[in-house]
Amino acid sequence: MSQTITPERRAVLHRRVRLIVGFTITYNVLEGIIAISAGVAASSAALIGFGLDSFIEVLSAVAVAWQFTRKNPERWEKPTVRAIGIAFFALAAYVTVDAILSLTGVEPVEHSPLGIGIAVASLVIMPTLAWFQFRTGRELGSKSVQADAKQLLLCIYLSGTVLIGLLLNSLFGWTWADSVAALVVAALAVREGIEAWRGDVESPFELFEEMDEEHEEVK
What are 13-56's pLDDT values in tens digits?
888 988 988 898 899 899 999 999 998 888 887 788 788 878 87
pLDDT of 66 strictly over 70:
yes
SS3 helix, strand, coil % of the chain, rounded to 5? 85, 0, 15
Query: Which of 92, 63, 88 is closest to 77 using CA atoms?
Result: 63
Task: Quickly list H helices, the chain.
Answer: 7-42, 45-67, 77-105, 113-140, 143-172, 176-198, 206-218
pLDDT tens figures, 68-79: 777 777 777 777
Note the pTM of the prediction, 2 decimals. 0.70
- For the ranges 68-72, 188-192, 208-212, which has the lowest average pLDDT? 208-212
pLDDT of 120 strictly over 90:
yes
Rounded Cα distance, 104 and 75, in Å: 47
> Which pLDDT band holds residue 207 (cuts at 50, 70, 90)?
very low
